[in-house]
Amino acid sequence: MVKVSNYVFKNDKYIKLALTHSSYSSENYERLEFLGDSILDFVVAKYFFDNTDQSEGNLTKLRSHFVSADNLSVVFDNLNVSNLVLLGKSCKELTKSIKCDMFEAIVAAVYLDSNLEVCEKFILNNIFIENINQIELLDSKSKLQEWAQANKMSVTYTLIEQKGESHNPTFTVEAKVGEYSQIATENAKQIAEQKAAKQILDILLKEKK
């Protein structure tokens, strides 16, 4: 029996298929990914609908972040199942996109091996979804871009450093617009960019006051 995070598979064929890339076999994760993507979207949307009173726009931003390749690739790494992945010779590495797809396939595998209720618990236990206080943060890049365009400037984001193991990386990013620049470090590059943008917006707000 294969154990993934807090779930033990009753039928290992599902998890084995979820971790088989198309470069290795014609029987691979792609159909599972299709199903898992839909389940993931539903569970995440339902969670935020039930647990927040946010507008449709903010709900969409929250869901988009938590089901993004940036986030799901980190979630995949934290499952510590890379050693079980089957790749063909034509596929040289586990890219962010493949990790994301395989996590979606794992979601479908858990569902087929159990039921929707168990699958929902698996998702919520692994996807860092408790960080729902990030709504303002997730909007920071678009707000800074709007300010930059209004002032005829451009915003740049530069990856300064990436550290740590593949299952627990940290990204240090610099955001810069005009004379303003800020640096932030997070476990996802996208969030580091948002955080740095938020820090610049905070400075602009103080100066406006």
Query: Where along the chain do its domains lie?
Result: 7-130, 139-208
Per the structure block, which two tokens stand in for 4? 């993934």
pLDDT 10s digits, 74-83: 899 989 999 9
Q: Which residues are catalytic?
A: 37, 104
7-130: what fold? Ribonuclease iii, N-terminal Endonuclease Domain; Chain A (1.10.1520)
pLDDT 10s digits, 41-89: 999 999 989 988 878 888 888 888 889 898 899 899 989 999 999 999 9
Whether the predicted pLDDT of 167 surpasses 80? no
Residue 190 is predicted with a pLDDT of 77
Burial state string for 9-22 with b = 16 or more CB within 10 A and e = fewer than 16: beeeebbbbbbbbb
Residue 6 is predicted with a pLDDT of 85
Q: What is the CATH number of domain 139-208?
A: 3.30.160.20
Residue 113 is predicted with a pLDDT of 97
> Confidence class of residue 21 from pLDDT cuts 50, 70 and 90?
very high
pLDDT 10s digits, 109-138: 999 999 999 999 999 989 876 655 555 566
Per the structure block, which two tokens stand in for 92? 């040289």
How far out from the chain centre does Cα 31 lie?
21
Whether the predicted pLDDT of 199 surpasses 70? yes
Residue 132 is predicted with a pLDDT of 59
- pTM score, two decimals? 0.70
- E strand intervals along the chain: 3-4, 7-8, 155-163, 170-177, 180-186
Give the integer Cα–Cα distance in Å for 157 and 183. Answer: 10
Residue 51 is predicted with a pLDDT of 84
